[in-house]
Structure 1
Amino acid sequence: SMGDGAEIAVIEGDLAEEEPFTFRLRLEDGYRIKPHIHPAYERGTILQGTLHFAHGEAFDADNTTALPEGSTFIMPPGAPMYGYAEGEVIFQLHGTGPWGIEYLDPEHDPRQ
């Protein structure tokens, strides 16, 4: 669901079920997270690198906030968001499933 340049490692939970989950994402330097929404709250911690993150419906790199290693963030359900990786970025997400991602522009969805 993230496409080339991103890898996921599930630590706990079944992402398709209504249960707690924890997973890590690794993003290549320069990877762009296209505008999208999630169905439930997610909480994240940056473990490595800097994630530039913003809420909004259109990708605007100049409107992001730099989240360096050790930063935390909360993503509310249904709130459009996007970002990009500066350096190799690893961050951990946790919440309660089912987990999902819906791209605002269906053409951005690598599952298509």
Structure 2
Amino acid sequence: MKGITRVLTASAVLCAGSLFVLHSQSQKHVLDNPDMVSWGPAPPLIPPGAQIAVLSGNPMASGPYSIRLKFPANYAIAAHSHPTDENVVIVSGALTFGMGDKLMKDSAQNKTMPVGGYALMPANMNHYAFTTDQETTIILFGQGPVEFKYVNPADDPRNAKGAMK
């Protein structure tokens, strides 16, 4: 998903109240059932209300990572881009994606992905995402560090009054 500035470092994310459950990718297998996932608030680079669980790697560091994100109903992430490819698999609910410089929920070009759907958002491509009337869980994976560059700086939650930076 897109952003305007580099994401916070892992320590800044932790200071912001995010919870990460980190697994080593090089020395052990990761075998997590959905009921074993530890959820915590997502980092402030996306709007409040989302939850995160790190499955493997460290999304704030260089290298591969896999995370789960849970979005509430009627949640939206404004137009943004990333410097690396972003892979998304829908686990529950549905997530609508659109391409462009502004979130447009009524665009005929939007594509809603159901459970099992997969999306690849190429590096540096402006896109947005939103849920409708149901909670949605996704698995997101790629190469870190995760960075968000919002098209409109005013859409960046880190620029909100009172946001921790």
Pairwise TM-score range, normalised by the shorter structure: over 0.9
Equivalent pairs, count: 112
**1:38-76 deviations in whole A, cap 9, x for unaligned?**
110111100000101111111111221110111001010
Greater percentage in strand: 1
Q: Give the one of 100, 113, 133 matched to 1:56.
A: 100
CA RMSD of aligned residues (A): 1.0
Q: Structure 2 stretches of 5 or more lacking a match?
A: 1-44, 160-165
Return the offset for 1:3: 2.0
Match of 1:83 in 2: 129
TM-score (norm 2): 0.65
1:1-112 alignment, distance < 5 Å: 1-63=45-107, 64-86=110-132, 87-112=134-159
Bigger RCO of structures 1 and 2 (CA < 8 A, at least 6 apart): 1
Return the offset for 1:16: 2.2
Where has structure 1 moved over 3 Å in runs of 4 or more? none
Structure number with greater Rg is 2
The alignment-based identity, stated in percent, is 32
Q: Structure 1 stretches of 5 or more lacking a match?
A: none
Secondary structure in 1 matching 2:154: helix
